[in-house]
Structure 1
């Protein structure tokens, strides 16, 4: 089997497992299903589930990924364009694509599950705080401490809100997520300058 076929199969299996976990959470709540239930629903072994995911939270919210060192280095160095907001948007969009998190149908389902289950909300909030702090740190590393932590937090929170608006709009999936994000950023700019 070639690397690309293996990679495609890995992506398909990952998404199938995530979809099954999200559907089980939607239907039974986060505490209402087991790893065995996901394995059965996805028609894989329990071992396969653990080959792809470390926990139920990772199945529902996606695994916690390490930063892409190349993207981070370019961002911290002032790139790719030299304009902080544009670079933050581009780096975040490329990160979403790099992590394979740009499946719109899965993102819409994930958002619905997060918004409907208090346990998932709490786990998602904990993860968001970690990402927020890391992102703020990168902005301050790039721009210097005089930029201000509060201002950096606001930028990251604004970007997350824009990403959420893309998913909350339940896109039809015919356009790439990056296009939808760029359109939402343009809408935000227009709204803020009108």
Structure 2
């Protein structure tokens, strides 16, 4: 988590707000707390909460991050490696790096998503939006002949790799994220090589 002190403070505040929102959701359910409750739990002003997040769903699920245009253009043109799955893994790495993923926060988010039906529904809707955006990029890169069903399958496999990465992190939260990703990708390759 490099960058300026301001950037570091922004990341820390974003993560603190998300952590508090997830804890509130576990305790009270998604509809059982307000943004004012979140501000009090995080010990910030209501204004600060809204400077970071527009809505409860955003703070619980995490902010949406767009990839830089040059990264998307490189992917669509067949880069960086020329192998679709490897390039998608690289895009995922960039998103995880850019967003300063906190594994503990992701594990807590996973717990909330699996226990609160409202959060589960919101997560599913957001997930489908992201998948459709990715499918469009894959089809732009690979051509319509690749097929939307195959593109969705590739994205779901990538999500499964990410989920495996979270499973691997639980016993040892100190392992570097790139190592966890590499292990999960390696295991996926091994499974499909059999």
CA offset digits 1:85-134 (Å, max 9, x no partner): 1111111111122123x210111000010111000000000101110001
Distance 1:25 1:66, change over 3 A: same
SS of the residue 2:81 aligns to:
coil
SS of the residue 1:91 aligns to:
helix
Distance (whole Å) between structure 2 residues aligned to residue 26 and residue 127 of structure 1: 20
Distance (whole Å) between structure 1 residues aligned to residue 36 and residue 131 of structure 2: 33
Q: Report if the CA contact (8 A) 2:65-2:95 is conserved.
A: no
Query: What is the CA-CA distance between 1:171 and the residue it aligns to?
Result: 4.5
Q: Report if the CA contact (8 A) 2:161-2:184 is conserved.
A: yes
Structural mapping, 1:27-176, within 5 Å: 27-100=27-100, 102-169=101-168, 170-176=170-176
SS of the residue 1:36 aligns to:
helix
Is 1:187 matched with 2:184? no
TM-score under structure 2 length normalisation? 0.94
Distance (whole Å) between structure 2 residues aligned to residue 94 and residue 178 of structure 1: 10
CA offset digits 1:1-55 (Å, max 9, x no partner): xx70111111111110000001111111111111111111111001100000000
Q: Report if the CA contact (8 A) 1:111-1:168 is conserved.
A: no
Distance 1:118 1:106, change over 3 A: same
Query: What is the CA-CA distance between 1:65 and the residue it aligns to?
Result: 2.5
Q: Report if the CA contact (8 A) 1:68-1:95 is conserved.
A: no
Q: Report if the CA contact (8 A) 2:29-2:116 is conserved.
A: yes
Extract structure 1 runs of 4+ deviating beyond 6 A.
none
Gap runs ≥5 in structure 2: none
TM-score under structure 1 length normalisation? 0.94
Q: Report if the CA contact (8 A) 2:139-2:146 is conserved.
A: yes
Q: Number of aligned pairs?
A: 191
CA offset digits 1:50-71 (Å, max 9, x no partner): 0000000011001222332122
Gap runs ≥5 in structure 1: none
